[in-house]
Amino acid sequence: MQEINKEYQPLIVAFCCNWCSYAGADLAGSSRLSYPANVKIIRVPCSCRVNPMFILKAFQRGADGVIMCGCHPGDCHYTTGNYYARRRMTLLFDMLDYLGIEKERTRVEWVSAAEGVKFSNVMNEFAAKICELGENKRLEDLRCKE
Amino acid sequence: MQRIGVFVCWCGSNIAATVDVKRVAETLGQEPGVVYSADYQYMCSENGQQLIKTAIKEHGLTGIVVCSCSPRMHEATFRKTAESAGLNPYMVEIANIREQVSWIHKDIEEATVKAIILGRTAIAKLLLNTPLTAGETGVTKRALVIGGGIAGIQTALDIAEAGYEVDIVEQRPTIGGRMAQLDKTFPTLDCAACILTPKMVDCAQNEKIDILSYSEVEEVKGFVGNFTVKIRKKARYIDEKKCTGCGICMSVCPSKKGLNEFNMNLNNRPAAYIPFAQAIPNVAVIDPEQCIKLKTGKCGLCSMKCEAKAIDYTQQDSFVERNYGAIVVATGFKIADLKYFNEYGYADNKDVITSLELERLMNAAGPTKGTLLRPSDNTHPHVITFIQCVGSRDISGCGKPYCSKICCMYTAKHAMLIREKYPDTEVHVFYIDVRTPGKNYDEFYRRAVEQYDVDYIKGMVGKVYNENGKLMVQGSDLLSNEQITIASDLVVLAAAIEPEPSVRKIATLLTTSIDTNNFLTEAHAKLRPVESPTAGIFLSGMCQGPKDIPETVSQASACAAKVIGLLAKDKLKCNPCVSISDDSMCIGCGTCANVCPYGAITYVDKEFRLGGGKTEVRRVASVNEAVCQGCGACTVACPSGAIDLKGFTTKQIMAEVEAVCKR
Amino acid sequence: MNNEQAKIISELSGTNAKQCMKCGKCSGRCPMFDSMDIKPHQFVSLIAKGQTDKLLESKSIWYCLSCMACVERCPRGVAPAAVIEAVRESVIRVQGQNQLKAEEVPQFVDPEFPQQILVSAFRKYNR
* Dist. CA B305–CA B120, nearest whole Å: 87
Which residue of A11, A57, A88 is in closest CB contact with B654?
A57
CB within 8 Å: C19 and B458: no
Which residue of C24, C27, C75 is in closest CB contact with B396?
C75
**What pLDDT, on a 0 to 100 scale, did the predictor assign at position B136?**
85
Question: Are residue B50 and residue B81 in the same domain, yes or no?
Answer: yes
CATH no. for residue C80? 1.10.1060.10
Strands (E), B393-504: 426-431, 455-458, 461-467, 470-477, 482-488, 490-495, 497-499
Q: How many domains does chain C have?
A: 1
Question: Are residue B355 and residue B374 in the same domain, yes or no?
Answer: yes
Say what percent of chain B tops pLDDT 90.
87
Question: Are residue B401 and residue B432 in the same domain, yes or no?
Answer: yes
Test mutation, B393, B430, B460, B481, chain C, max C CBs within 10 A: B460
Query: How close does chain B come to C41, measured CA to CA in Å?
Result: 9
**What pLDDT, on a 0 to 100 scale, did the predictor assign at position B625?**
86
Q: By the 8 A CB rule, do B399 and B336 touch? A: yes
Q: Does C98 have pLDDT greater than 70?
A: no
Q: By the 8 A CB rule, do A45 and B630 touch? A: yes
Question: Are residue B426 and residue B449 in the same domain, yes or no?
Answer: yes
Which pLDDT band holds residue A146 (cuts at 50, 70, 90)? low
* Dist. CA C23–CA C73, nearest whole Å: 11
Which pLDDT band holds residue B361 (cuts at 50, 70, 90)? very high
CB within 8 Å: B432 and C23: yes
Query: How close does chain A come to B530, measured CA to CA in Å?
Result: 16
C11 falls within a domain = yes
Chains B and C touch (3+ CB pairs under 8 A): yes
Q: By the 8 A CB rule, do A24 and A115 touch? A: yes
Q: What pLDDT, in 10s, does the model give residues A114-130?
A: 888 999 999 999 999 99
Q: Which residue would you say has higher pLDDT here, A79 or B406? A: B406
Q: What pLDDT, in 10s, does the model give residues B446-482?
A: 999 999 999 999 999 999 999 999 999 999 999 999 9
The domain in which residue B19 lies consists of 4-127
Mean pLDDT calculated for residue range B106-131: 94
B653 falls within a domain = no
Q: Which amino acid is at B458?
A: K
In sequence order, what are the residues at sequence separation of 6 or more whose Cβ sits closer than 8 angstroms to the Cβ of residue A98? none
**Residue B252 half-sphere exposure toward CB, CA atoms < 13 A:** 14
Q: Does B524 have pLDDT greater than 80?
A: no
Secondary structure (3-state) at B560 = helix
CATH no. for residue B596? 3.30.70.3270
Which residue of B96, B636, B662 is in closest CB contact with A51?
B636
Q: What pLDDT, in 10s, does the model give residues B409-418?
A: 999 999 999 9
| Chain A CB contacts of B72 below 8 Å | 18, 22-23, 26
Which pLDDT band holds residue B15 (cuts at 50, 70, 90)? very high
Q: What pLDDT, in 10s, does the model give residues B158-194?
A: 999 999 999 999 999 999 999 999 999 999 999 999 9
Q: Which residue would you say has higher pLDDT here, B522 or A141? A: B522
**What pLDDT, on a 0 to 100 scale, did the predictor assign at position C34?**
92
Which alpha helices (H) appear in B181-328, and where do they start and end? 192-205, 248-252, 292-296, 301-305
On whether any CB of chain B is under 8 Å from the CB of C21, the answer is yes
Q: By the 8 A CB rule, do A111 and A118 touch? A: yes
Query: How close does chain A come to B406, measured CA to CA in Å?
Result: 27
Question: Are residue B160 and residue B270 in the same domain, yes or no?
Answer: no
Which residue of C41, C42, C75 is in closest CB contact with B393?
C75
CB within 8 Å: A78 and B633: yes
**What pLDDT, on a 0 to 100 scale, did the predictor assign at position A1?**
41
Question: Are residue B376 and residue B398 in the same domain, yes or no?
Answer: yes
The Cβ of residue B659 has, within 10 Å, a number of other Cβ atoms equal to 22
Q: Which amino acid is at B531?
A: E
CATH no. for residue B403? 3.50.50.60
| Chain A CB contacts of B96 below 8 Å | 26, 41
By C-alpha distance, the chain C residue nearest B479 is C24
| Chain C CB contacts of B462 below 8 Å | 25-30, 69, 73
Q: Does A3 have pLDDT greater than 90?
A: no
C53 falls within a domain = yes
Mean pLDDT calculated for residue range B583-608: 90
The domain in which residue C69 lies consists of 4-97
Chains with ≥3 CB–CB distances under 8 Å to C: B
B443 falls within a domain = yes
**What pLDDT, on a 0 to 100 scale, did the predictor assign at position A140?**
76
By C-alpha distance, the chain A residue nearest B104 is A34
The answer to which of A4-18, B217-231, B598-612 has the lowest mean pLDDT is A4-18
Distances (CA, A) of B78 to B7, B52, B64, B84, B121: 11, 9, 9, 10, 18
B543 falls within a domain = yes
By C-alpha distance, the chain B residue nearest C79 is B396
**What pLDDT, on a 0 to 100 scale, did the predictor assign at position A4?**
46
CB within 8 Å: C33 and B460: no
Tell me, letter by letter, the H, E, C secondary structure of C55-122.
HHHCCHHHCCCCCCHHHHHCCCCCCHHHHHHHHHHHHHCCCCCCCCCHHHHHHHCCCCCCHHHHHHHH
CB within 8 Å: A34 and B663: no
Which residue of A34, A37, A45 is in closest CB contact with B630?
A45
**What pLDDT, on a 0 to 100 scale, did the predictor assign at position B522?**
86
CB within 8 Å: C29 and B474: yes
Question: Are residue B588 and residue B561 in the same domain, yes or no?
Answer: no
B195 falls within a domain = no
Q: Which residue would you say has higher pLDDT here, B611 or B349? A: B349
**What pLDDT, on a 0 to 100 scale, did the predictor assign at position B609?**
87
Q: By the 8 A CB rule, do A73 and A86 touch? A: yes
By C-alpha distance, the chain B residue nearest A21 is B72
Question: Are residue B373 and residue B474 in the same domain, yes or no?
Answer: yes
pTM: predicted TM-score of the whole model, two decimal places = 0.75
Mean pLDDT calculated for residue range B363-382: 93
CB within 8 Å: A45 and B107: no
B657 falls within a domain = no
- Domains observed in chain A: 12-144 (3.40.50)
CB within 8 Å: C29 and B463: yes
Q: By the 8 A CB rule, do B150 and B280 touch? A: no
B216 falls within a domain = yes
C35 falls within a domain = yes
Q: Does B525 have pLDDT greater than 90?
A: no
CB within 8 Å: B474 and C39: no
Q: Does B129 have pLDDT greater than 50?
A: yes
Mean pLDDT calculated for residue range A51-80: 90
Test mutation, A41, A49, A53, chain B, max B CBs within 10 A: A49
Q: By the 8 A CB rule, do C7 and C51 touch? A: no
Query: How close does chain C come to B383, measured CA to CA in Å?
Result: 19
**What pLDDT, on a 0 to 100 scale, did the predictor assign at position C108?**
76
Strands (E), chain A: 12-17, 39-44, 65-70, 106-110
B-to-C residue pairs, Cβ atoms closer than 8 angstroms: 74
CB within 8 Å: C75 and B459: no
Dihedral, CA of residue C39, residue C45, residue C49 and residue C52, to nearest 10: 30
C102 falls within a domain = no
B658 falls within a domain = no
Chains with ≥3 CB–CB distances under 8 Å to B: A, C
Q: Does B585 have pLDDT greater than 80?
A: yes
CB within 8 Å: B107 and A37: yes
Question: Predicted ipTM?
Answer: 0.93
Q: How many domains does chain B have?
A: 5
Q: Does B230 have pLDDT greater than 70?
A: yes
Which pLDDT band holds residue A2 (cuts at 50, 70, 90)? very low
Q: Which amino acid is at B380?
A: H
C58 falls within a domain = yes
On whether any CB of chain B is under 8 Å from the CB of C50, the answer is no
| Chain A CB contacts of B535 below 8 Å | none
| Chain B CB contacts of A130 below 8 Å | none
**What pLDDT, on a 0 to 100 scale, did the predictor assign at position A7?**
64
Q: What pLDDT, in 10s, does the model give residues B39-69?
A: 999 999 999 999 999 999 999 999 999 999 9
B472 falls within a domain = yes
Domain boundary among B279, B312, B345: B312
